[in-house]
Structure 1
Amino acid sequence: MKKKQTRQEPSSQKRASAPGIKRDHGHKPASHAKPAGQKAQRPAAREEARPQASPVAETRPLIVRKGELPIERVPVILESKGAGDFHLIDSGAGLKLEQYGPYRVVRPEAQALWQPSLPSHVWDNADAIFTGDTDEDGMGRWRFPKAALGETWPLSLLDVDFLGRFTAFRHVGVFPEQIVHWSWVKEQAEKADRPIKVLNLFGYTGVASLVAAAAGAEVTHVDASKKAIGWARENQTLARLDRAPIRWICEDAMKFILREERRGNRYDIILADPPKFGRGPNGEVFHLFEQLPLMLDVCREILSPKSIGLVLTAYSIRASFYSIHELMRETMRGAGGVVESGELVIREAGLDGKTPGRALSTSLFSRWVRK
C-alpha cells in the first residue's frame, strides 16, 4: 500500500489479512502466505491431508436502512503526485519505476499498459527490482543490481518517519496511493475542535495511523498480522510518537468491529482497506465480495453522532467503483452527507519529481463524508 487484517504481507496485511487482514488489493499480501523459501510439509497420513474447516465467521443480519440516499459525486478521481520521500518516476510495459527516499525501485504493475517514457538506461539504473510471481499476492524476490541493500531503510511521508521494507510480496511497507486519504484525515484532525477518534481497519504497517496520531487524533489500529503490528510499533518509535494515543490491536477486523458495536464504542473516522481474500489470526476467512456489505453495515453503526467520514479502498479488479459506490450509499441511507466514489491514481513526476506525466490507476474507493 494494495490489503492488506493485513495485506497478505509478510503479512496490509497491503494491502492480506482477513477481516482483520491487510492490502494489498490484490495489493495486500495474504497473512496466511508462507515465508519465501519455506516448503510446505507433506501430510504424514491421508487423513491429515483433508482440509480443515475454517472457523465460522461471526455475523448478524443486515440492518434495513430507511430515509433518503446521500448526495452522490461520481466519478471522482483522487490524484497523488507523491509526497515526502515518494514519487512515481515512470511507468509502462507492465512495470513502474518509483523513488522511495534514496532508492529507485522497479515493481510489476499490470495497469501500466503503455510504454515507458524514459529511456531504458534510466530503468536499468534502479537500485532494487522485484522479480518472480507478477500476481499481486504472489511471492518473489528482490534483485539489487548495484549493491546489496538491507531489508529496511528510513522514509518520510506527510512529516511522519517510518521504515520502508523489501518484502517477498513486492510491497515496500507503504501504499502511497493512499496519501490522498491520509492527507484528508490529517486535515480533519487538525481542524477539529476536539481530539477525534480514528479507526484504521486492515492497518498494515501503520503509516495512516501515525499520520492521524501526529495530527492529534486518538487512533485504534487493527490488523490480523502479528508481524505487521510489530512493524507498525517500530514505525511508531521511529516517528517519535511513542506517547501518542494509539491502540494496536492484532485481531480479525470483523470480530473487532462487531464487538465494538456491542460495546457501544464509536469513532469519528473509519478507514477500511480490506484485501480481496485473507485469513485472520485464528484462521478466520475473509472474502471481500461476501463480507463487505456486513463490514460497512457494522462500520456505520460504530460511527459517532458527530462522525466525519467513512473511507473504503478496494483493489479488486472484478468490481466497478459503481458497485462499492451504490453499496456505500445504501449503507449510509438516512445519514445525510455525501458519498463520493471513483479511483485513486498516482501521477508520474519524472526523475526530478516535478514533471507531470501519465496517471496510473491504483485502486477503487468510496468515501462518505458529513456535509
Structure 2
Amino acid sequence: MRNIPPAISKDPGTKPAARWPLMLETEGWPDYALIDSGHGRKLERYGRYRIVRPEAQALWTPRLSEAEWESADAHFTGAKDEDSDGRWRYRKPIGETWPMAWRLPRAVGEGEVRFLGRFTAFRHVGFFPEQEMHWAWFAQEIHAAKRQPKVLNLFGYTGIASFVAAMAGAQVTHVDASKKAIGWARENQEMSGIADLPVRWIVDDAMKFVAREVRRGSRYDGIILDPPKFGRGPNGEVWDIFERLPEMMRLCRQLLSDDALFLCLSAYSIRASFMATHELTAEALSGLSGTIESGELLIREEGGGRTLSTSLFSRWSRNG
C-alpha cells in the first residue's frame, strides 16, 4: 500500500483543513490482486479463484492474451451496469463460497479478519478490495485513541469494516438494510473467531436509523459510510445518493461526539468528481478542527502495471 502525496490547503474560515487530491492505491495482498484489465473488463484473483468482471473505466488494451482471460475460473456476464442482475459462467463447477483473509496493520496488532467470498447476482463477491486503504486508516485512528470509541458503520454490507474497527478496539454498531447481508456478516464474524467482540447488528434503512439516533441524542466517535448509488431499505425505502447523501451527512454531523475521531465516506459508480464529496463533507463538518482528505481509491495491476480508479472518497480526521 502507498499514498500519492497531495497538496494541503487551509480554509481561512471555520472548515477543517483540506488535503486533496489524495490518491490511495492498493497493490493487493496475498488473497487479492488485479491481474489485468482492459476492453471494459478486469481480471482479478480472489483467494483461490481468478474471476473476470465488467469494468467500464478500463478503456485500454489488456496485456494478457484472450486465452489467459478465458482460463479464469468465473466470468460475470449479462449486466450492463452495477444495478442489474447478471450471471456467472464457470470454467468448471466450483463452490458458492470460499475463504479469504486480510491482516491488520502491524501497528495495530497481529489480528487477521477472515471472511467468505461469494458469487452474487450483482457481480460483487462480498467486499471491495480497495477499501483496505480505509480499513488500515481507521484501524490506526481507533488504536491510537487509547480508549474504546463508539463507531457507526452505515451500509455495512458483509461486515469487514466493522470487524476491523472492533479488532482495533472500537464498540461497533453495524447497519444494513439487507437481512441477507447481515447474515453473511454473521458468518464472517464466526469465521474470524471474534464473536466476543462488541458488534451490534441492525437491519434497518440507514437514513431512518440515523434520524432516530439523532432524536435519541446518540453520539459516535467514528462514522463509516459506504453507500450505494441506488438502493432500497427493508420496507421499500428508496436511496438515491444524489438526493439523500446531503441529508445523511447533516445527520451524521449531529451524531459525532465532541471528541470524535473520524468520518469516512466512499462513493461508487457515480458520475461526479471527488470534489463533490469533498465540498459536501466540508460543509457538513463546518466548525470542526482536523483535516478532510478527498480523492480516489485506486488498484494497481499486479507487477506494477496500470492503475484502475474504483471510487471517490472524503474522510475527516480530528488528528489529521
- What's 2:89 paired with? 143
Partner Cα separation in structure 2 for residue 288 and residue 213 of structure 1 = 27
Which AA in structure 1 matches 2:98?
W
User: Could you tell me how far 1:283 is from its partner in structure 2?
Assistant: 1.2
Q: Please tell me whether residue 323 in structure 1 is matched to residue 270 in structure 2.
A: no
The answer on 1:183 being equivalent to 2:136 is yes
Match of 2:100 in 1: 155
Instruction: Note the 1:235-274 alignment, pairs <5 A.
Output: 235-274=188-227
Q: Residue 329 of structure 1 aligns to a residue in which SS?
A: helix
Q: TM-score, normalised by structure 1?
A: 0.79
User: Counterpart of 1:4?
Assistant: none
Q: Are 2:243 and 1:297 aligned?
A: no
2:311 partner amino acid:
S
Q: What whole-Å deviation, never above 9, does each CA across 1:263-304 have from its counterpart, x for those lacking one?
A: 121111111011112111111111111111110011111111
Matched, 1:75 2:21: yes
Structure 1 spans left out of the alignment, 5+ residues? 1-66, 350-354
C-alpha distance in 1 between matches for 2:142 and 2:190? 21
Indicate whether 1:92 and 2:38 are aligned: yes
Hey, what's the Cα distance between the residues in 2 that align with 1:127 and 1:196?
A: 42
Distance in 2 separating the partners of 1:238 and 1:305: 35
1:227 to 147, 162, 180: 180
> Greater relative contact order: 1 or 2 (C-alpha under 8 angstroms, separation 6 or more)?
1
Give the paired residue count: 299
Matches of 2:33 and 2:170, distance apart in 1: 27
Contact 1:83/1:179 (<8 A) preserved: no
* 2:48 alignment partner in structure 1: 102
How far does the alpha carbon of each residue in 1:5-58 deviate from its partner, in whole angstroms, 9 at most, with x for none? xxxxxxxxxxxxxxxxxxxxxxxxxxxxxxxxxxxxxxxxxxxxxxxxxxxxxx
**Does 2:296 match 1:348?**
no
CA contact (8 A) 2:229 2:270 kept: no
Other structure's SS at 1:174 match: coil
The separation in 2 between residues aligned to 1:234 and 1:68, in whole angstroms, is 44
Q: Distance in 2 between matches of 1:144 and 1:294?
A: 42
Structure with the larger strand share: 2
Q: CA RMSD in A?
A: 1.2
User: What is the CA-CA distance between 1:313 and the residue it aligns to?
Assistant: 0.6
Structure 1 residue 183, shift from structure 2 partner: 0.9
Query: Once the 2 structures are TM-superposed, how far is the Cα of residue 317 of structure 1 from its aligned partner?
Result: 2.6
For the 8 Å contact 2:138–2:262, the answer to whether it is kept is no
Percentage of identical aligned residues: 62
Q: Distance in 2 between matches of 1:84 and 1:197?
A: 31
- The answer on 1:363 being equivalent to 2:311 is yes
Counterpart CA distance in 2 for 1:283 and 1:121 is 44
**C-alpha separation in 2, matches of 1:137 and 1:312:** 20
Report the TM-score when normalising by structure 2.
Answer: 0.91
SS of 2:94 mapped into structure 1: coil
Q: CA deviation at 1:214?
A: 1.8
